[in-house]
Structure 1
Amino acid sequence: MFEPFSSGYYLGEMYVQPRASDAAAIKRADHEKVNEQLYATGDGVERLDNPLVMKVGTRHFPVVADDDVPGGTLAVPESSVPDDLKFSLPDRREVFLANADRARDLIQYTGWEDEDYA
């Protein structure tokens, strides 16, 4: 789904659509798969619910899991759709996924409230 792109990001392509919610989300199975493949530390005790950070257009989104989102889709809050995408969604788009270190920095910078994410 995602391939290495730079020292801080992976690159993939997903169907991106707006949604009537305050949180960006992908299907729970996709969320767990990405956590397992890209964020696993190898110590045998892995959290599969760490928030992901994805960038679409000019905007970063903390991404949670949601069973109601179709597979292969990133659903972003309608109120937060970047101006450069307003008239082109829904559509397939390049999506950047922050690696574990970059995601941690971005989550802390944006004030994400999940105390267990460290």
Structure 2
Amino acid sequence: MFERFSSGYYLGRLYVQPRGEREAAIKRDDHERVNEQLYATGEGVERLDNPLVMKVGTRHYPVVGDDDVPRGTLTLPEDAVPGDLEGKLPGRREVFLANADRAEDLLQFTGWEGESSA
């Protein structure tokens, strides 16, 4: 789904579409698999519900898992869809996935207030 792009990001292509929720999301199974493969440290029990951090356009989004999201799709809150994507969704787009270290830093800046940030 994602390939190494740089020292801080992986690159993938997902369908991007708006949704009426406050959080960005991908299919829960995909979320857990990516979390396990890319964010697991191997130092004990890992939380697979920690948000991923994805970049679409110029914005970063904390991304949660949701069973109602179609496989291979990233959903964004309607009011958060970048201006350069309006009118072009849904569509397959390049999506950057922050690596574990970068994601941890970015979550602080995005104002993530989920359980996992405590």
Q: Quick one: distance in 2 between partners of 1:74 and 1:81?
A: 11
Calculate percent identity across the aligned residue pairs. 76
Aligned partners of 1:36 and 1:48 also within 8 Å: yes
Q: Deviations over 1:3-62 (max 9, x none)?
A: 111111000011111111111000100000000110111124121111011011121111
Please tell me the root mean square deviation across aligned C-alpha atoms, in Å.
1.2
Superposition pairs of residues 6-45 of structure 1, within 5 angstroms: 6-45=6-45
CA shift for structure 1 position 115: 4.7
Q: What SS is found at the alignment partner of 1:94?
A: strand
TM-score normalised per structure 1: 0.94
Give 2:27's aligned amino acid: K
Farther off after superposition, 12-21 or 38-47 = 38-47
Superposition pairs of residues 63-102 of structure 1, within 5 angstroms: 63-102=63-102
Change (3 A) 1:115 1:29: closer
Aligned partners of 1:12 and 1:95 also within 8 Å: yes
Aligned partners of 1:19 and 1:77 also within 8 Å: yes
Gaps of 5+ in 1: none
Q: What SS is found at the alignment partner of 1:116?
A: helix
Q: What SS is found at the alignment partner of 2:37?
A: helix
Aligned partners of 2:56 and 2:95 also within 8 Å: yes
Counterpart check, 1:107 vs 2:107:
yes
TM-score normalised per structure 2: 0.94
Aligned partners of 2:28 and 2:67 also within 8 Å: yes
Gaps of 5+ in 2: none
Give 1:2's aligned amino acid: F
